[in-house]
Amino acid sequence: METSELHRGRLIDHLQLVVRDLDASRTFYGAVLEALGIPIGGEGEDWFWADELFVSTAGSEAATGQLTGRHHLAFQARDRAMVEAFHAAALANGGRDNGAPGLRGYHPGYYAAFVLDPDGNNIEAVYHGPAERSADSVRIRFEG
């Protein structure tokens, strides 16, 4: 795997998921990442990666022979439509619904969908966009 650009200032550099069924995970993540505009960056016999996400089998050189536990992983979406496309792609490619697209009470404008991947990980797509508190309120935008 080759790194073409180093990013500073992020909390997470990369995340590895060790999965039971690589083909099922490749199908699932390939579809949801495509819906989010993120290409698969590379793949081998027992692994694949996209951006900062690395997925492998327990037998891969990068794993220690154990499956990872249940994780919650949230991907950023550009808008509400992208959240909805993520959810639809997940359900059509081996994911299970864990929360349909909609506003959440975490902060104004938090629009998200949740699915369980083939290994039971809670995968989310979220748009931190503008929100309207009421029909005559001002829009609130979170930048950052």
Alpha helices (runs of H) in the chain, residue ranges in sequence order: 22-35, 80-92
- CA distance linking residue 84 with residue 125, whole number of Å: 9
- CA distance linking residue 68 with residue 104, whole number of Å: 28
Pairing of β 122-128 and β 72-76? parallel
- What domains sit in the chain, N to C, each tagged with a CATH number? 15-58+69-140 (3.10.180.10)
pLDDT digits (tens, 9 = 90+) for 88-144: 999 999 999 999 999 999 999 999 999 999 999 999 999 998 865 444 333 444 444
pLDDT digits (tens, 9 = 90+) for 35-56: 999 999 999 999 999 999 999 9
Write out the two tokens for 98: 């864990």
Reported confidence tier of residue 12, pLDDT bands at 50, 70, 90:
confident
Identify the residue whose tokens are 């959440």: 104
Residue 9 confidence (pLDDT): 59
Residue 14 confidence (pLDDT): 86
- CA distance linking residue 63 with residue 67, whole number of Å: 8
Whether the predicted pLDDT of 21 surpasses 80: yes
Q: Kindly report the pTM of this predicted structure.
A: 0.82
Strands (E) in the chain, as ranges, are 15-19, 42-44, 47-50, 53-57, 72-76, 96-103, 110-116, 122-128, 131-132, 139-140
**Residue 57: which of 43, 47, 49 has the closest Cα?**
47
